[in-house]
Each structure stands twice: as C-alpha cells, then as structure tokens.
Structure 1
Amino acid sequence: MSSKATESAAAPTEPTKSVNRASQLPTSAIALAEVATNAAKAWQASELPVLLWLSKTDFAAQAAAFAESRDEADAAGDARTPQSRRLQTLDTLLNQSLRYVKGYLAEANDDKKAYYGEFGIEKVNKSYQLPRHRTERVKSLDKLLKALKAHKFDKNKYGTAHWEPLITEYKALVKDSSDTSGERSGKVSSKDQGEEQVRKALRALIHHIKAQFPDTFEAKLREFGFQKESY
C-alpha cells in the first residue's frame, strides 16, 4: 500500500504587529516636551511634506511654547513651596501665642468669651480660635492688634511687640501666596492647552509618516525621535 504525503499541521504564524506609537506618547510632560522638540527638528530637516492644517514652522513653535510653559509652571510651583512652609509655621506660632492672649482675658474678666469677638477670636467647632481661612485670619489679626491696645495688653510679653512682626510677615506672605497661586493656575492652564495641541500634532505626524513611508516607517519614526515602544 502506497503511503500518502501528509499535509503540514503547523499553524500559520501571525504577522508581526507594528508598535502603535500614536497611543503611546509619553504621559510625562517632561518626556513629551522632549519628544515634541526632537520631532519638530527632524521634520524641519526632512523631505516629509507639511500637513494641510499644520506647517513645520508652526509645529516647531508649538513644541517650543509647550516646553517653555511647562518650565514656567514648574517654576511657579517651586516658588510657592517655601511660602507655604513658612505660612504653616506662622499659623502654628499665631495659634500658640493666642493662648496667652486668652489667658490675659481670663485674668482680667469674669466672662472672657464675651470679648473674644473684639479680638478676632471665633468659635471653630468646639474651640475658640482665629479663623482658619487665611484671608479671614488676616482681618482678625488686625482686630486683635487694636484690642490689645484697647485692653492695655499691648505692653505684656505677648502684646503688640510680639504680634506686630508676625502679623506683618503673615499678611505679606498671604498676599504673595494668593498672587502666586493665581499665576501658577494661569501657567498650568496654558501648559495644559499647549499639551493638547502638541499631542494632537504628534499623533498626526506619526500617521503622516506611516502614510508617506509605508515600507520604512519604523526606521523613519526612530529618526523623528519616536524611539520608545512605551513610556
């Protein structure tokens, strides 16, 4: 009996999938700015044509603006950190000092709580203290200084000589902190808007490269700085 040739039972191999770089752009703003900067430089030096809605020059400007706005937002955050730490320290000092003022009131009056409002002291939960919100606390500190003089506590150890330098520094830091917060919010908003534009452009550029170089797009993507398969 003649033998029959057997067909190969090996399963066909699946084609290798190319890396989907459009969905794998860096999540980090630092890395994204680097990719955008490198891609912009490569595009300007490349024969790859412009997009209908985006020129090489415009993309280079977008990448540069995004990198700059990211640096400015980070710098604004760094500037606010020392202020925040000092304000926390001053809040603690003010709270500690207030205990002595309340002690003066207790010694001088049978009903000390009746005078708390005059000193800027209010009830917070179950205790009497200065307002927690710093803008309101600044107003209460002004009342406290006036009340110290009115009740003849200004010459005491925790009188005006103790409070005035703390309050002066505190008020200045609260103002600077508010200004810095507003500045940082604006710069973060600008950075976020720039990031959206850059991501849109990079995704379009990846697809543009794939369309123009169907056989060699992997190598071309590496030339443009899309070197990592994931970030």
Structure 2
Amino acid sequence: MANVESRRAATPATVLAATLGLAATCWVIAVWLMDGMDMGVATRPGSFGFFALAWVTMMAAMMLPGAAPAVARQAQVRGRVRAAPLFAGSYLAVWALAGVVAYALERPHGSLAAGAVVIAAGAYELTPVKRYFRRRCHEDAGSGLKFGLCCVGSCIGLMAMLLAVGVMSLFWMAAVAVLACAQKLLPAKATIDVPLALAIVWLGLLIIFAPSQIPGLTPPMM
C-alpha cells in the first residue's frame, strides 16, 4: 500500500519533468529546422510535409510548457503515468489540425496585411470569447482534446500574430510562447491584460506605418 501511494505521489513530478523535457527537445529541433527560413512577411510555407513537421515541433515546444501542469494533473487523477501521453498527444493533435488551417492561409504578404492581423489579434485579447477560453484553460478540461480546443480558442489571436509577422521567426516564436504560457498558468488581470492588448495593437500600427522599425519584418532586398 505504501509503495502504491509513493508511486502515485511521484507520478505528477515524473510527468511534469518528462513534458518539460519533451518541450525543451522540441525547441532544439525547431531551431535546427527553422535555420535560414525566417524571411519575415515574405516567408514561404514550403512543402506541406516540411511545414507540418516544423509546425508540430513548434507547437510542442511552445505549448507544452503551459500545458504541463494539466498533463501532470491528468496522470495524478488517473493514477498512472501512461495516461499522460494520451492526454498530451490528443492535445497536440488539435494543434496539428490548426496547422492545416495555418498552411492554407500562410502566404507571402506585405506589412499592411501583417499589421492588420496583429491589430485584430490585439483586439481579440479584450473580447469575452478570449476570456471564456482562457478561463477554461484554468479548469479541469477532462481530456486533452477539450483542453486543446480551449487552448486554441485562447491563443488563436497570438498564433495569428505569429503567422503574420513571421511563422519561422525564433524571436516571435519565443515571444508568443512566453505569452501563451503565462496566460495558461496565471489568472486574468485587467491591469496586465489590457496594457498587453494595447501593446499588440500598437505593434500592429507600427508594422503598418513604420515597418522599417521592426527588425526582421522584411528581407533586406525588399
């Protein structure tokens, strides 16, 4: 009996460490895959196979750190470590499907289109829909599929911003990852969320009216 209780107590810590380790590994792979691919708004998605590999790797790197506590809770509730891969796998499957949509929409574009998308992303941060999905991310979703859907609903604005400014940019990937992780783990606070949304809108305006002020937004020859 004592051994069973000890194993159950160790399960969340084991799952948490494994999930974060997988995310760290995916960051290393993403850096390797995206080397030389960042062309800002002129980035081309390439073949679907390459984009799918890069996208799934990016989503694992960006989203698993914020989802790790939920994965660990699932293993604790189920009482076994093997429940974690199913939860995490179905969670990432939702993001993989989102990648199909991203591939269909991602095309080389100009700073005007990029700025408009970023402004819309900032505005989305202030909507009731965003607040609803973010709140659901803090609750017990029950399954990786439901948690993934809530996560996509919460982060869709941030992901649209990433696609707009450069999906293969490690800088923007890291920035969006930090924001997404913080929003999954921390409660919503207007004193933080409203200035953040306004900052994103300001970034969008800067992209439209002063694109040269945004490093890496356009390749040198443009």
Report the TM range for the smaller structure's normalisation.
under 0.3
Greater share of helix = 2
Give the TM-score normalised by structure 2.
0.22
Query: Which structure has the larger Rg over C-alpha atoms?
Result: 1
Higher RCO, 1 vs 2 (CA within 8 Å, ≥6 residues apart): 1
